[in-house]
Amino acid sequence: MTVLTQLVIVFAFLQPSGIDMALNNWQLALLIISTALITASGNVINDINDVIIDEVNKPSKIIVGKHISENNAFTLYIILTTLAVVCGFLLSNSIDQPFMAVVFILVAFLLYLYATTLKSMLLIGNIVISLLVGLVVIITVVFELYPVITPENKEVQKTFFIIMLEFSLFAFVVNLLREWVKDCQDMDGDHAGGRKTLPLVIGRTRTARIAAVCGLGLVIALGWYIYTFLYKNQIAVYYFTFLIVAPLLYVITQLWIADKVSQFKRLSMILKLVLLTGILSMTVFYLL
């Protein structure tokens, strides 16, 4: 999903626009590899710290302690993180912006902090991981646009950055909704692992309905966006309506009545697909 997001941003949105871009093919490859490695390292450290919880929530999918020892998993985490930071450092220096390498160090630190501490804190973990999902969009745009900003193209670059910021906000909100749905799904394991999630504090039903209300707010915002900016692009209107808004409306209605783990699992998968179709929607902006 991370790699696909970056490829779509570059080849389906920025490049067709003819906007000035900073990265050549090997530099873009470095950015994608670094992002993929740092995402993988985050998954590894998360699995290391989720063994007790996964034994309850998904015992058939446990890797650490079953297929690989905890020590070897941690070694793998260190290798992946180091390679990600090195690739980020090489990329930043290749575009004469060495200070931008700090982004990869900061993301690696936040992923470690999320897996070891923040994930157990009420709402904080949900917000942080959702911010990091949205940050994938921002990182790609910043590396592509910032190094080539000039007084002549400043306004154009700013316009495209704002559009990407809107996509980033969409990714943040959808992932936050999914985090709450997953928390409703994983209550038993989170309780066993000593987590402090919203469903464990206020109950599964209340959490699901809060997510439904927030989802409705997102649908209203998308409706306004479609009416204001996309009404002349029929393909985009149909795409947003049937592949993003309609599934969100289904999730909202189901969240109001859901009370089984299987229901929340299905809704979590639908939200993941909505996140995917939201990213892929960039491909329809130039199809008139």
pLDDT above 60: residue 241:
yes
Of the listed ranges 112-121, 144-153, 188-197, 236-245, the one predicted with least confidence = 188-197
Sign of CA dihedral 164, 119, 207, 260: positive
Instruction: List the domain boundaries for the chain.
Output: 2-284
Question: Torsion angle, CA of 150/18/160/249, rounded to 10 degrees?
Answer: -170
pLDDT for the residue numbered 286 = 64
pLDDT of the residue at 287? 60
Q: Average pLDDT in the 66-84 region?
A: 93
Instruction: Report the pLDDT averaged over residues 47-67.
Output: 81
| Whole-angstrom distance, CA of residue 100 vs CA of residue 103 | 6
What pLDDT score does 255 carry? 96
Average pLDDT score over the chain:
92
**Residues 161-178 pLDDT 10s:** 999 999 999 999 999 999
Give, to the nearest 10 degrees, the angle between helix 154-185 and helix 261-280: 170
- Tokens 């910021």 map to which residue? 165
Q: Please tell me the predicted confidence (pLDDT) of residue 283.
A: 87
Task: Inform me whether the pLDDT recorded for 142 exceeds 60.
Answer: yes
pLDDT confidence bin for 114, thresholds 50/70/90: very high
